[in-house]
Amino acid sequence: MRFTRLRFLIPVSCLLASEGCTLQGAPSFPVVGAYFPDWMVCGLVGVAVAVGLRVIFLLTGLDAILSFRLFTYVALGVIAALTVWTLVFGP
C-alpha cells in the first residue's frame, strides 16, 4: 500500500526535491557531503507549496476572496509539509 502511494508521489517529488527521483531510501539526504534530515525537505516543500499556491491564487483571482492571507498560506504550507511527511517518511 505504501509503495503505491510512493509511486503516485514520485512525479511530485521529482519536481520538488533537489534529489530528483531518489526519495526512496534513507530519510537523510546528502548535499555536498552533509546529510540533511527528512523534515527539512518537508519544510522546503511546505514553503514552495505556500508560495506556489499564492501565485496560482493571484493568477486565478481566488486570492481576492481570502482574508488573513498570511495565516491561510502558512497553514496551507504546513498542511502540505505534513502531508509529504506522512506519505513519504512517516510510519
Partner 1 sequence: MMQRVHVSGKKPIGIIVAIVCVGVAILFGVHVSHEDSAHPSSDSGSIDAEMVHVASTVGGRLKELRVVVNQHVHKGDVLYQLDPEPYELIVRQAQANLDLANAEVENQTRLLSIKTTSAATADDQVVRARTNRDLAARTVKRLKPLAGQSYIPWQQYDQARVALHDAEVSLSQSKNQSVAATTAIGDLKSSLAARDASQAALDHAKYELRQTVVTAPADGYVTSLRVKAGEVLAPSQVLFTLIADDEWYATANIREINLSSVQIGDCVTVHSMIDRHSPLRGHVESIGWGVLSVDSAGIARSLPIVPRQMDWVHVAQRFPVRIRLERANPLLLRLGATATVEIRHGAACP
Question: What residue ranges bind partner 1 (CB under 8 A)?
Answer: 2, 22, 24-28, 30, 35, 37-38, 65-68, 71-72, 74-76, 78-79, 82-83, 85-86, 90-91
Which cell goes with 30? 546528502
Using CA atoms, how far apart are residues 10 and 22, in angstroms rounded to an integer? 8
Q: In terms of CB distance, is 26 or 32 closer to partner 1? A: 26
Sequence-distant (≥ 6) Cβ neighbours of residue 46 within 8 angstroms: 77, 78, 80, 81, 82, 84
Q: In terms of CB distance, is 48 or 82 closer to partner 1? A: 82
Q: How far is the CB of 91 from partner 1 (least distance, A)?
A: 4
Q: Which helix (H) or strand (E) holds 85?
A: none
Q: How far is the CB of 75 from partner 1 (least distance, A)?
A: 4
Q: What is the DSSP letter of 31?
A: E
Q: How far is the CB of 79 from partner 1 (least distance, A)?
A: 5
Q: In terms of CB distance, is 12 or 76 closer to partner 1? A: 76
Contact 48, 83 (CB under 8 A): no
